[in-house]
């Protein structure tokens, strides 16, 4: 059995960038940019009106004029108009380009509408209510940098820059595998000795959030069957995420089968709770993360080991998230303890973690009200309020 630190180091040491591919921005959420994204034009690309109202030449207002006859009207999406007579105004809408010869916009709320004209009721200043050309970003500016994980707001930027197709780091092809004769499908009615499959769907959903496509499989407790099925799956997948079949039971065949297939065992057993029986190995460029079958163990191992590995494959680093322990915790076993906790923020901006003990690693319901795991290191039995530790977000 090895330490958590050593286990993570061995996992990360196997991570390498797979390659680069071009994908539609419709499929880019959660992926990592493999190129810098530049502004192909100034942002905004013209002097953009930010309020519905009228645009005027400020010199006339400054000389005392307050009533401006309407010369024309301009809407968003229309070509730029010109204010021909500077003593008049253009009625103009939000998003429209500012009229040539105008330099100030007065919103409707500060106007009184007359017959074919508007009277300015409130004081104004030159340049008001105008988002000037290039004031956000000039043409050629880097808008998004290489190695950035793409979020929803970034899709807005990509679209604005004309990037319907974007280069990203390739994601591994992942097979998510459950095992055990006790597991049945979601829509089946289990007998007294059966339970419905759930871990694979949790893992698949989390992979989807991370921008990774996957397919689920299930193995019965038969070593020959497991051997033949894994052999077929390995023809199409880079990574196997397995849940169950890795402990010391007489029907836990996964480690034996994997090694028989030619996988190099990098470790089996980590000094942690939950998730102690975790098995990890590789064969060439293919990896197997074989998690214990209890839901909380699977959840902990996935986030502690697979997620940082995936980040590394995508050219990213998992940044540590520090929290302050908000309640005293006692834990006697000489293991790293991944304690379920909820997060709140103090008035001084610190993140506080309140540990709430569940009903063991088989309790799949308690994590739903938690934010993640606080990592309490082995070597002590009492963890006190105010101490700072790493936190693993779900």
User: Where are the alpha helices (H) located in 131-267, listed in sequence order?
Assistant: 152-160, 199-209, 223-233, 254-261
Superfamily of domain 48-131: Molybdopterin biosynthesis moea protein, domain 3. (2.170.190.11)
Per residue in 15-31, pLDDT (tens digit) is 998 899 999 999 999 89
Confidence of residue 365 (pLDDT cuts 50, 70, 90): low
Per residue in 108-135, pLDDT (tens digit) is 999 999 999 999 999 999 999 999 999 9
All CATH 2.170.190.11 domain ranges of the chain, comma separated, are 48-131
Inter-residue contact 91 to 74 (CB < 8 Å): yes
Per residue in 60-84, pLDDT (tens digit) is 999 999 999 999 999 999 999 999 9
Q: Which fold has domain 4-18+171-313?
A: Molybdenum Cofactor Biosythetic Enzyme; Chain A (3.40.980)
Structure tokens at 351: 């993140």
How far apart are alpha carbons 328 and 330 in whole angstroms?
Answer: 7
Domain 322-393 class in CATH:
mainly beta
Inter-residue contact 286 to 305 (CB < 8 Å): no
Residues in a beta bridge with 69: 117
Question: How many of the other CB atoms lie within 10 Å of CB of 382?
Answer: 10
Q: Is the peptide bond before 44 cis (omega within 30 degrees of 0)?
A: yes
Residues in a beta bridge with 290: 242, 279
Per residue in 216-273, pLDDT (tens digit) is 999 998 999 999 999 999 999 999 999 988 887 776 789 999 999 999 999 999 999 9
All CATH 2.40.340.10 domain ranges of the chain, comma separated, are 322-393
How far apart are alpha carbons 246 and 178 in whole angstroms?
Answer: 11
Residue 301 burial (CB < 10 Å; 0-12/13-18/19+)?
buried
Of 142, 179, 377, nearest to 292 (Cα)? 179
State residue 195's pLDDT score: 83
DSSP state of 293: S
Structure tokens at 360: 């063991």
How far apart are alpha carbons 93 and 55 in whole angstroms?
Answer: 10
Residues in a beta bridge with 120: 111
How far apart are alpha carbons 324 and 65 in whole angstroms?
Answer: 62
How far apart are alpha carbons 56 and 54 in whole angstroms?
Answer: 7
């Amino acid at each position: 059995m090895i330490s958590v630190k050593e286990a993570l180091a061995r996992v990360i040491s196997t991570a390498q960038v797979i390659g680069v591919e071009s994908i539609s921005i419709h499929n880019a959420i959660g992926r990592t940019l493999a190129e810098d994204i530049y502004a192909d034009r100034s942002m905004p690309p013209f002097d953009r009106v930010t309020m519905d109202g009228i645009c005027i030449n400020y010199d006339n207002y400054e000389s005392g004029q307050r009533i401006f006859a309407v010369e024309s009207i301009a809407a968003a999406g229309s070509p730029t108009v010109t204010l021909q007579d500077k003593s008049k105004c253009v009625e103009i809408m939000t998003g429209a380009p500012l009229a040539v010869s105008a330099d100030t916009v007065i919103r409707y709320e500060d106007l009184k509408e007359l017959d074919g004209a508007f009277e300015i009721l409130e004081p104004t200043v030159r340049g008001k209510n105008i988002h000037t050309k290039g004031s956000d970003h000039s043409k050629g500016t880097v808008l998004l940098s290489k190695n950035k994980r793409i979020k929803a707001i970034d899709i807005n930027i990509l679209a604005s820059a004309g990037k319907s197709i974007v280069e990203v780091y390739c994601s591994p092809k992942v097979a998510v595998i459950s095992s055990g004769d006790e597991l049945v499908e979601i829509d089946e009615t289990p007998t007294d000795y059966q339970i419905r499959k759930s871990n694979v769907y949790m893992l698949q959903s989390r992979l989807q959030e991370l921008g990774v496509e996957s397919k689920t499989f299930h193995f019965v407790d038969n070593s020959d069957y497991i051997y033949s099925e894994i052999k077929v799956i390995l023809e199409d997948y880079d990574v196997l995420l397995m849940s169950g079949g890795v402990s010391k039971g007489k029907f836990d065949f996964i480690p034996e089968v994997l090694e028989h297939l030619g996988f190099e065992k990098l470790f089996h057993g980590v000094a942690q709770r939950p998730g102690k029986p975790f098995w990890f190995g590789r064969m060439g460029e293919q990896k197997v993360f074989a998690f214990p079958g209890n839901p909380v163990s699977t959840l902990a191992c996935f986030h502690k080991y697979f997620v940082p590995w995936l980040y590394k494959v995508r050219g990213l680093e998992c940044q540590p998230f520090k929290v302050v322990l908000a309640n005293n915790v006692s834990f006697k076993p000489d293991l790293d303890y991944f304690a379920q906790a909820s997060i709140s923020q103090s008035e001084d901006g610190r993140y506080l973690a309140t540990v709430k003990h569940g009903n063991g690693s088989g309790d799949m319901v308690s994590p739903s009200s938690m934010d993640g795991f606080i990592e309490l290191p082995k070597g002590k039995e009492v963890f006190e309020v105010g101490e700072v530790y790493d936190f693993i977000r779900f």
